[in-house]
Structures are given as C-alpha cells and as structure tokens.
Amino acid sequence: MQQQTTLPAASLGLAASLALVAVLGPAGIDMYLASMPAMARELHTSYANVQLSLTVFLLALGAGQLLCGPLTDMLGRRRPLLAGIAVYIVAAVWAAQADQLATLLLARLLQGLGAALTLVVVMSMVRDVADGVKAAQLFALLMTIVGLAPVLAPAVGGLLDARYGWRAVMLALAALGVLTLLNSALFLPETLPPARRVSPRGLHRTYARIALDRAFLLPALALSATFFFLFAYIGGASLVYQRDFGLSAGSFGLVFGATGVAVLLGAMASGRLVERYGVARLCVAGSAAMLGGAVLALLGAWAGFGIVAVVPGMFVALFGLGIAEAALMAMAMGSQQRALGSTAALLGAIQMTLSSLATPLAASLSEWGPLPWLLFLTVAGLLVSWLTLATARVHPVHASSLGAH
C-alpha cells in the first residue's frame, strides 16, 4: 500500500501563484476566440487573416521557449519571470490599440514571447523546489488549476466582447498580467541560487542529443499532433459556431467553455487510471476517443444535425485529448534522466511550433463551412492515432513503467 504524501501549505501557496502565471498563455489563446469575426470586420480583413494573430502567438510561445530556457538557467527564475510578464502586459495593451492587421500581429508576437518566458519559469520553479512524488503532486495541482482557463476564458471573453467589444478583451488580458505581476513580485521567491546557475554553452549539442532520441521524439511528435488537433478545433470553432450555427459571441464562449471541460475531465481521468493501465494504453485509448469523436461530429453534421451532433462529438474528442495529452507528456519527459529543463523547452517548442500550423489551415477551411473543417479534424485524429500507436509499439516496456513513478 502506497504512503500518501501531502503538500505543505507553502507548496500549495507556491502552486497557486505559479498557476496564476501559467494561466497567461492559455488565456492569451482562448479569451479572444469569440471576438475573431468582429475583429475581421473592424480591421477590414478576412477571418483567416485574423487567425494569424493566434498563429504568431503560438509560434512565439513555442520557439521562445528554446531561447528562454537557457536564459533562466543563467540568470535565475525571478527576474526573467517579472520581465516576461511585463512584456506580456505591454503587448496586450498594444494589441488593444491596433488599427490594422500588421500591428495586431506584431503585438501578438511580442505577447507570445512574454508568455514563453513565463511558461519556462513555471516548469523550472517546480523542479527547483520539489522532486519525485512532491513534484508530481505540484504539477498535478498546477495543471488542474490551469485546466480551468480554457473553460472560463472563452466565456469571459465572449461576454466582454458582447458588451464592450474585442479591444476590451485585450485590455482584460493586460489586467490579468498586472495582477500576476503584482502577485509574483510579492509572493514568488527566487528558487535558483547563484551556485546552481549554469552557462548556456553547449546547449545546441544537448538539444540535438534529446531530439535524436526516439524515446523522446516519438511521444513528442504524437503530443504535437494532439495539440495540432486542439488548435485545429480552436481555429475553426469561432466562425463555424457563430456563422453557421447562429450562436452569439456570448453563447459561443459558453459552448466552447463547455467543450473545454472535457479536456479537464480527461486529464483528471488520466491521473486516476495511469497506475492501473499504464501510459501506453491510456495514450491509445485517448487517441481512439479523439478520432471517434471527430468522426461522430463529421457524420452528424453531414446528416444535417448541426450543432446538436457537433458539440457532443467534440466533447468526446476533447475528453480523449485530455487523456492522451497527459500520458504522452509523461512518456516524453520520462525518456530523459538529465537536462530536464532543456527537455521541457524542446518539447514545448516542438509541440507549439508544429501545432501552430493548424490554426491558419482550420481558419481557411472553416470559411467553406462546417464539413471541410470537421473533415480536417478527422484527418488530424487519424494522424494522432497513428503516431500514438507507433509510440506504444516501439516503447511498450518503457511506456508502461512510467505509470509506477
């Protein structure tokens, strides 16, 4: 019988403060989704072009981690964190003032770089203060809190857009950044003492070694495909739900948030089931649910059932995504025993960079209607299933053993 380990109050406070920081990235993605059709009209451009503001944010969020990881190892955690939040705030205010697409894209690129810095610091701080069971508990608590962001952010953003317009949503992101900056300045200490700081020399060799390890690469690619599916859903949902299914911006936020609950439930189920079934089986089961849900939504829309079929289908798919995401992340991170900060940075860079390609493709297809978009999601589900099966077949022993950690 395993001994239960409880987190001290100080660790719970740390997790709460780090969760507030970690929310900045998801909020920057989800809060303004309902506003995209209105943004396209006001900026006199297409919906697909406005979707590029999400694409550049994701590219900066991914590629920025490769640069920010070594920076935090060299300078410590606290100063880069505060700088990253400040950049995020300035960029959000800049985006709120944008009067043309190019300005919006530049502001979102800068905002993504700020978010990348905060994401790297959050993961590094947890590993600085805890390892083993306590680290796992901190990560689980952190992800549970952060998992609420995709549920609440679209609803809040939709309501703000309906009452005040899309610029108010960007200002709300800036306000969230200010709150996070104050909380971090007051309550988050430096967790990396000078004696443990390292020079980034030789980093390219470390990244190359990790990337060429198939035990890392296969689950990393499968995880990237999983995020590709997620952002393909995000990229088309706003236009399809509002234009084709007749939802208002406020209603879209509520419906999108409801499907976002599925990801949270899937992640919670994964945590409960991993000891019994192992991560390899959970990966396969999660990817199967993703594909099955996408097929259900596609067939329902093709048969003329509209949103009545699409929302339940996507709920099933996103529940599977929550299961697969947690398991694949455990496999990728468990493949390495050293240079874990570089492993996390490389994993984040790969998944965000590749998955960012989904948003412009989904936006373009959604302009043709629900069926091309849902077919695209089904193809993405097939890709996830294929890569997940390949991962489970190549590393079945390694993958199963992770559940015991």
Does 196 reside within a domain? no
Is residue 245 domain-shared with residue 382, that is, in the same domain? yes
Residue 186: how many other CB atoms lie within 10 Å: 8
Both tokens of 131, joined, read 């390892």
Is residue 36 domain-shared with residue 99, that is, in the same domain? yes
Is residue 333 domain-shared with residue 287, that is, in the same domain? yes
Cβ atoms of residues 30 and 81 within 8 Å: no
pTM of the model: 0.77
Sign, Cα dihedral of 97, 149, 141, 264:
negative
Is residue 249 domain-shared with residue 222, that is, in the same domain? yes
Does 151 reside within a domain? yes
Q: Report how far residue 174's alpha carbon sits from residue 189's, in angstroms, rounded to the nearest whole number.
A: 23
Angular region, 6: left φ>0, alpha ψ -120 to 50, beta rest: beta
What CATH number is attached to the domain comprising 309? 1.20.1250.20
**253-271 burial code (b ≥16 CB/10 A, e <16):** bbbbbebbbbbbbbbbbbb
Helices 370-394 & 249-302, crossing angle to 10 degrees? Answer: 80
Could you identify the residue written with the tokens 């999983």?
226
- Can you give the pLDDT at residue 356? 82
Does 238 reside within a domain? yes
- Can you give the pLDDT at residue 165? 92
> pLDDT 10s digit of each residue in the chain, 405 long?
444 444 454 566 777 888 899 899 989 988 998 898 889 999 999 988 998 998 899 889 888 888 887 788 788 889 999 999 999 999 999 999 999 999 999 999 999 999 998 888 887 787 677 664 466 556 656 766 777 777 788 888 988 998 999 999 999 999 999 999 999 999 888 887 887 777 767 777 878 888 898 888 999 999 999 999 998 998 889 889 999 999 887 888 888 888 888 888 887 787 777 778 877 888 899 999 999 999 999 999 999 998 999 999 999 999 999 888 877 877 787 777 666 667 778 888 888 888 888 888 998 899 899 999 999 999 999 999 999 999 988 765 444 444 443
Is residue 160 domain-shared with residue 215, that is, in the same domain? no
Is residue 133 domain-shared with residue 216, that is, in the same domain? no
Is residue 181 domain-shared with residue 43, that is, in the same domain? yes
Is residue 80 domain-shared with residue 126, that is, in the same domain? yes
Residue (of 30, 29, 22) closest to 256 by Cα position: 30
- Can you give the pLDDT at residue 131? 61
**Opening angle at CA 351, ends 54 and 231, nearest 5:** 40
Q: Report how far residue 95's alpha carbon sits from residue 137's, in angstroms, rounded to the nearest whole number.
A: 36
Last residue of a domain, one of 188, 220, 235: 188
Residue (of 257, 319, 246, 312) closest to 287 by Cα position: 319
Is residue 158 domain-shared with residue 285, that is, in the same domain? no
**Opening angle at CA 143, ends 140 and 147, nearest 5:** 140
Q: Report how far residue 364's alpha carbon sits from residue 263's, in angstroms, rounded to the nearest whole number.
A: 25
- Specify the DSSP class assigned to residue 377: H
Last residue of a domain, one of 154, 188, 222: 188
**166-175 burial code (b ≥16 CB/10 A, e <16):** bbebbbbbbe
Helices 214-239 & 307-334, crossing angle to 10 degrees? Answer: 160
Q: How many domains does the chain have?
A: 2
Does 355 reside within a domain? yes
Does 69 reside within a domain? yes
Is residue 270 domain-shared with residue 319, that is, in the same domain? yes
Cβ atoms of residues 377 and 225 within 8 Å: no
Does 27 reside within a domain? yes
Is residue 297 domain-shared with residue 169, that is, in the same domain? no
Does 349 reside within a domain? yes
Q: Report how far residue 219's alpha carbon sits from residue 338's, in angstroms, rounded to the nearest whole number.
A: 18
Q: Report how far residue 230's alpha carbon sits from residue 156's, in angstroms, rounded to the nearest whole number.
A: 20
Is residue 141 domain-shared with residue 208, that is, in the same domain? no
Q: What is the DSSP string of 80-95?
A: HHHHHHHHHHHHHHHH
Residue 24: how many other CB atoms lie within 10 Å: 25
The single-letter code of the amino acid at 276 is R
Which range of residues forms the domain containing residue 401?
202-405
Q: Report how far residue 327's alpha carbon sits from residue 387's, in angstroms, rounded to the nearest whole number.
A: 13
Last residue of a domain, one of 188, 211, 236: 188
Does 195 reside within a domain? no
Residue (of 343, 242, 294, 199) closest to 38 by Cα position: 242
